[in-house]
Chains A and B, each alone.
Chain A
Amino acid sequence: MSLNLEPHSTTTIDGVGIYIHIPFCKQACFYCDFHFSTSLKKKDELIDALILELELRKTEFETNTVATIYFGGGTPSVLSLDEINRILNAVFTNYAVTENPEITLEANPDDLSESKIIELSKSKINRLSIGVQSFFEADLKLMNRAHNADEAKRCLTLATQYFDNISVDLIYGIPGASHKQWQDNIQTVLDFNIPHISSYALTVEPKTALDALIKKGKIENVNEAQAEVQFHMLIEQLTAHGFQHYELSNFGKSGYFSVNNSAYWQGKKYIGIGPSAHSFTGESRSWNIANNSKYIKAIQSKTLPSEIENLSDNDKYNEYIMTGLRTIWGVSLQTIETQFGSDFKAYLLAQSDKYLKEELLYLDGDTLKISNKGKFLSDGIASHLFKI
């Protein structure tokens, strides 16, 4: 599915994406349910496997060129410069890459020493996504982050000297964190003049340490009223400072929207390399096994340890609704009609009706969009617009 997103897009992506999953972390954040290991024993073998997988899958994109390469995790900043370069070489050797690709490295403040930042700035990496989350000690401790508040600030001071394109992650709705503290966190990022911010509500995923600690009563449960207020503070502050709220959890200044993430929401193709990584061909989604040893073993025998799901028209419609409503680009009725037919369009309008009346959705010309009021309820709304 390729969608026409021209009118409001400052970043229209032509190319496709490569996502590389680095499944290692120094320590486990209490809230995280992504795939990672805190043992680095298999790091070398895993990097070899990533490179091998890149080779194995080099024909998948056919004629498409790669516009974004993204190291995610886990904590990709545990990689040495040499290791990063080896992986990037494999990308450039096996795939056609556009002239100025976005190459992002997710990094944690405790890994970003001055020497590391300088090293990285000399590599092909041209964007850092820094997992700050908060500048308050209590918040960081509660979430079991590996860095402290000082490291967070120091690393931004350094990073902004060597990198222009930086994104900072912030978490809101942290138990015990006042609105004032949240205000301060936003202000700190603004003071550093960071052009992109990803911000998430602290979410209690099942089977995480956070989940267990809350159940035991060791940590106060998250409070959705607090999260809602802080979400709206964020929108207000950042839009007042020239950011566009281009996706539910992403804010960027003009020219700084994440190419990688936009690909997900705009239905672009991407290849996910590494254990647990997901890929999308436009017609199907597939995902690698979320187990380092099994992943390595399979790749070594030149088989992809992945499961695949072919998408029906209905699936594609549902995905477009779900992802479209999260973004500034919305859901184009024109696209719905041409891609899925007039029945789908009529259905969508009928289902939207009550939300349009409640002003949770609105029509911008021919495009259905979510209002600020509706944003925090967007899952329920999307689900209602789904076809099953």
Chain B
Amino acid sequence: MKNIRNFCIIAHIDHGKSTLADRLLDYTGSVTEREKQNQLLDSMDLERERGITIKSHAIQMDYTYKGEQYILNLIDTPGHVDFSYEVSRSIAACEGALLIVDAAQSIQAQTISNLYLALENDLEIIPVLNKVDLPSANPEEVTDDIVELLGCDPEDVIHASGKTGFGVDKILEAVIERIPAPKGNPDEPLQALIFDSVYNTFRGIETYFRVFNGEIKKGQKIKFVATDKEYYADEVGTLKLTQIAKKSVKTGDVGYLITGIKTAKEVKVGDTITDFDNPTTNIIEGFEDVKPMVFAGIYPVDTEDYEELRNSMEKLQLNDASLVFAPESSAALGFGFRCGFLGMLHMEIIQERLEREFDMTVITTVPNVSYHAYTNKNPDEAFIVNNPSDLPDPSTVNRVEEPYIKATIITKSDFVGNVMSLCIEKRGMVLNQTYLTPERVELTFDMPLAEIVFDFYDRLKTVSKGYASFDYHPIGMKTSKLVRLDILLNAQPVDALSALIHADNAQNIGKKMCEKLKELIPRQQFDIPIQAAIGAKIISRETIKALRKDVTAKCYGGDISRKRKLLEKQKKGKKRMRQVGNVEIPQQAFMAVLKLND
């Protein structure tokens, strides 16, 4: 056990976490030439393309240091706020963390909140200044930022470059020298923490865990504490680039477990694994059932594909337990599902995976958060509203509550004014403003979560010229003055375009919605009026003029291929449209409310 080191990496998106992890694998000889590819740990195509980590991953490296063999377990964590619970569990599985900071961009909000998590868990922090080879690197100043934040010695900050491999030896040295070996008692009953699970088509769910006490043996009868389910450990082993089956995984080590579980729902991140016959009394703290934060309808473009969509969603849920869905129906879109996501990125990922992995063309409706409505009849009982059309008749409603968050934003002092105005526009209340350094300011706000859903990230990026980072956590429900904004096309209400918004913004959003839809819905052979309404009151109106000319007048022999391809492309575009009444609505129109400021 004294030669095991468990560590994770804390970093902001784009600060080079995955590349540096690749270098560590390289340097320790954990990958052969043949296996090398960029972002090794990000196994989903989507992760590689977007340069993000969606799932947690783990890999074991062997490393000889001063003549001794060490086992280094690296747990790679997602870097996006949508997945912060996964991050917290990965942190709980480690004794140390590499804090990777981009030498040009310095520390970001997301990094700080994860750093605090690591400190709360008593992790040894090894600060690494990455990308020091970049011309824009500012090592002195960023080192000062780190020193101030951690209270460490400037010498403790390791300079590195994931691109060139510079400093990788120093990092490994620090991992061994500074991070404590795991503690734990091999003789106690099994106590292991689940920090992730992965779905494998052939083998079912693979559970990733860290053993704190005791050991887990092949064939052992085990129990998952939170779900209260029992299994046999069909296979256990450690995680190299491929899995290495073992007879047992011992105290302090990280490994995988296969039990024949078929659905991800049964394996909850944060749960404790213990022995069935001799269970531990020591449950690992901090388990939470992850709750979805954002809800949206997902509908097949072709109504006939409903069953296929259900199958696809079920399969997706097998390896993404945080996706929840229930059937719903819309007057405009027919049968579909109301889905719950961890956040907006998670929603985008699900939509993209449905299209890529299952070849489903879907329409996603306006996302919303989960509201609590109280009726006059039952003023103490919350009625959960996950869909705007579920909001009871306004005359019967006593009050509506919406979820609030505490948001932390770190930006340059030049942009404080802009960021502040944006947050106030988004109904935020300023709580605090701290100068981390003369140039860097941390702002904290209380804000309705719903405002984050509506184009907050993009706006924040714009007003801060990209120099703002953002993190949040939920703080509970608050009463708000909310109304439902309905959209009518050709005088017919389209329920899938309805949104719950704050009464004070209704006029403005209604107007922008009409303008945006006018831009997004292609002209048809007749005029299409677009109206925004609150109840029976029309608050805004636009008209899409009828299409009068849709023909290429000149068509020479030479144009035939080109023109055919053009019309084929049009036809493909139409496949992604949904006919509602006699109006054809493109997919993007259903998300129009998110892009009102583009």
Interface residues of A, Cβ cutoff 8 Å to B? 17, 19, 72, 199-201, 203, 224-225, 227-228, 248-249, 261, 263-264, 270, 272, 276-278, 280, 285, 287, 309, 315, 318-319, 322-323, 326, 358, 375-380, 382-384, 386, 388
B554 engages A200 (CB within 8 Å): yes
A276 engages B558 (CB within 8 Å): yes
Given known pairs A228-B549, A248-B553, A249-B555, the reply for A318 and B561 (CB within 8 Å) is no
Given known pairs A224-B549, A380-B547, the reply for A322 and B554 (CB within 8 Å) is no
Residue on B nearest A19 in the bound complex, by CB: B557
B570 engages A383 (CB within 8 Å): yes
**B549 proximity list for chain A (CB < 8 A):** 201, 224, 227-228, 376-377
Q: Tell me which residues from 548 to 564 in chain B have a Cβ below 8 Å from any Cβ of chain A.
A: 548-558, 560-561, 563-564
**What distance in Å separates the Cβ of A148 from its nearest Cβ neighbour in chain B?**
23
**What distance in Å separates the Cβ of B52 from its nearest Cβ neighbour in chain A?**
33
A388 engages B551 (CB within 8 Å): no
Given known pairs A224-B549, A278-B558, the reply for A379 and B567 (CB within 8 Å) is yes
Q: Is B377 an interface residue (CB 8 A)?
A: no
Residue on B nearest A378 in the bound complex, by CB: B551
Residue on B nearest A314 in the bound complex, by CB: B568
A378 engages B550 (CB within 8 Å): yes
A377 engages B561 (CB within 8 Å): no
Q: Is B537 an interface residue (CB 8 A)?
A: no
Pick the most buried of B525, B551, B556, B571: most chain A CB atoms within 10 A of its CB.
B551
Interface residues of B, Cβ cutoff 8 Å to A? 525, 547-558, 560-561, 563-564, 567-568, 570-572, 574-575
**B554 proximity list for chain A (CB < 8 A):** 200, 203, 249
Pick the most buried of B553, B570, B574, B575: most chain A CB atoms within 10 A of its CB.
B553
Given known pairs A322-B563, A383-B574, the reply for A264 and B551 (CB within 8 Å) is no
**A261 proximity list for chain B (CB < 8 A):** 556
- Sorted from nearest, which 4 A-B pairs have the closest CB atoms? A278-B558, A224-B549, A200-B553, A383-B567
Given known pairs A278-B561, A287-B561, the reply for A386 and B548 (CB within 8 Å) is no
C-alpha spacing A228/B549, complex, angstroms: 7
Given known pairs A318-B568, A322-B563, the reply for A280 and B548 (CB within 8 Å) is no
**A380 proximity list for chain B (CB < 8 A):** 547, 550, 570
C-alpha spacing A386/B551, complex, angstroms: 15
14 residue pairs from A and B, CB less than 8 Å apart = A225-B548, A264-B556, A264-B560, A277-B558, A278-B556, A280-B557, A376-B549, A379-B552, A380-B547, A382-B567, A383-B567, A383-B574, A386-B568, A388-B568
Given known pairs A201-B549, A376-B549, the reply for A272 and B567 (CB within 8 Å) is no
**With A319-B560, A378-B550 given, can you name 20 additional A-B contacts, CB distance below 8 Å?**
A200-B553, A200-B554, A203-B552, A227-B548, A228-B549, A248-B551, A249-B553, A249-B555, A272-B557, A277-B558, A318-B568, A322-B560, A376-B549, A377-B525, A377-B550, A377-B551, A380-B550, A380-B570, A383-B568, A386-B568
Q: Which of B553, B557, B564 contacts A278 (CB 8 A)?
A: B557
A264 engages B550 (CB within 8 Å): no
Residue on A nearest B554 in the bound complex, by CB: A200
C-alpha spacing A199/B554, complex, angstroms: 8
Q: Which of A201, A358, A383 contacts B571 (CB 8 A)?
A: A383
**What distance in Å separates the Cβ of A45 from its nearest Cβ neighbour in chain B?**
22
B568 engages A285 (CB within 8 Å): no
Residue on B nearest A385 in the bound complex, by CB: B571
**A17 proximity list for chain B (CB < 8 A):** 557
B560 engages A384 (CB within 8 Å): no
Given known pairs A264-B555, A278-B558, A280-B557, the reply for A319 and B550 (CB within 8 Å) is no
Residue on B nearest A229 in the bound complex, by CB: B548
C-alpha spacing A280/B561, complex, angstroms: 10
Residue on A nearest B524 in the bound complex, by CB: A380
**A280 proximity list for chain B (CB < 8 A):** 557, 560
Q: Which of B551, B555, B558 contacts A272 (CB 8 A)?
A: B558
B561 engages A375 (CB within 8 Å): no
Q: Which of A285, A318, A376 contacts B567 (CB 8 A)?
A: A318
**B567 proximity list for chain A (CB < 8 A):** 318, 322, 379, 382-383, 386
**What distance in Å separates the Cβ of A103 from its nearest Cβ neighbour in chain B?**
17
C-alpha spacing A106/B301, complex, angstroms: 49
**A377 proximity list for chain B (CB < 8 A):** 525, 547, 549-551
**A322 proximity list for chain B (CB < 8 A):** 560, 563-564, 567
**B525 proximity list for chain A (CB < 8 A):** 358, 377
C-alpha spacing A21/B556, complex, angstroms: 12
C-alpha spacing A225/B547, complex, angstroms: 9
B550 engages A376 (CB within 8 Å): yes
B555 engages A201 (CB within 8 Å): no
B556 engages A315 (CB within 8 Å): no
C-alpha spacing A375/B568, complex, angstroms: 19
C-alpha spacing A39/B394, complex, angstroms: 74
C-alpha spacing A379/B559, complex, angstroms: 13
Pick the most buried of B525, B548, B558: most chain A CB atoms within 10 A of its CB.
B558
A309 engages B553 (CB within 8 Å): no
**A285 proximity list for chain B (CB < 8 A):** 560-561
**A276 proximity list for chain B (CB < 8 A):** 558
**A277 proximity list for chain B (CB < 8 A):** 558
**A203 proximity list for chain B (CB < 8 A):** 552-554
Residue on A nearest B558 in the bound complex, by CB: A278
Q: Which of B547, B552, B558, B571 contacts A384 (CB 8 A)?
A: B571
C-alpha spacing A384/B552, complex, angstroms: 15
**What distance in Å separates the Cβ of A359 from its nearest Cβ neighbour in chain B?**
11
Pick the most buried of B549, B560, B570, B574: most chain A CB atoms within 10 A of its CB.
B549
Q: Which of B547, B552, B555, B572 contacts A388 (CB 8 A)?
A: B572
C-alpha spacing A319/B559, complex, angstroms: 11
A375 engages B557 (CB within 8 Å): no
**B571 proximity list for chain A (CB < 8 A):** 383-384, 386, 388
**What distance in Å separates the Cβ of B595 from its nearest Cβ neighbour in chain A?**
24
